[in-house]
Amino acid sequence: MTEKILFFDAGPVITLVMSRLGWLIPELKKKFGGKFYITPAVKFELVDRPLTIRRFQFEALEVMKMIREGVFEIYDKVPDKKVLTLKKLANSAFTMKGKTMDVLQAGEVEAVASALQEKNAGVVMDERTLRLLIESNKDMKSLLERRFKRNVIVNLKKMNEFSTHFKNVPIIRSIELASVAYKLGLLEQYLPKKRDAKSTLLDAVLWATKFNGCAVTEHEIEEIKKVLMK
């Protein structure tokens, strides 16, 4: 039987930890019954760099604890050449004012490239840019133009070449992990003693993920809530 694997980008871990839901990660791993990996670049973003910033030191310690306890394992087989190729491809696909744009960072590319290498692995990622490149690259131009308020020229060949690499890699967001936790009953301890208890809990949890970094729209939150309330 093929081992189940999820590669985590830094974003969803930060979102859950900042939402005071970091404790869900080990609980979800038990239910998942597979491996939770982070790459060296993601570890740098989650631990090494924030340890040097007082504001984020405790969050870094939380992740260190999860690594120490085996919840997260450091993936040591990152396909570096593939990462470099994919990063160059994506970062040369968009031009603004005559200069190419660095739209992707090392951590997120390492995560998806490693998932691709492991065949049946998925990626947990909140960052909108890479998810759009993989899932709906036609929306990338408008996203970048809204973000930078300038005209962006797209090299469609390069953008599509990048996207085709990952068409079979499932992408999961932190809000979806929180939704699974709710369905599994892991959040029942937070149900308030009031008539609309489930609605209140879902609003609190789903909006917490948005406010702490998950790229999700208000409409998506309402749709997720409807499904979970059934």
Q: Where are the domains of the chain?
A: 80-106+129-172, 175-229
Q: Quickly count: other Cβ atoms within 10 Å of residue 230's Cβ.
A: 4
pTM: predicted TM-score of the whole model, two decimal places: 0.91
Phi, psi of 90 (to 5 degrees): -65, -40
Per-residue pLDDT of the chain (230 residues; tens, 9 = 90+): 678 999 999 999 999 999 999 999 999 999 999 999 999 999 999 999 999 999 999 999 999 999 999 999 999 999 999 999 999 988 898 898 888 888 888 888 999 999 999 988 999 999 888 888 877 777 888 888 888 888 988 888 988 888 888 878 899 999 999 999 999 999 999 999 999 999 999 999 999 999 999 999 999 999 999 999 98
Q: What is the DSSP letter of 47?
A: I
Angle between helices 80-91 and 106-117 (to 10 degrees): 120
Q: What is residue 38's three-state secondary structure? A: strand
Q: What is residue 52's three-state secondary structure? A: helix
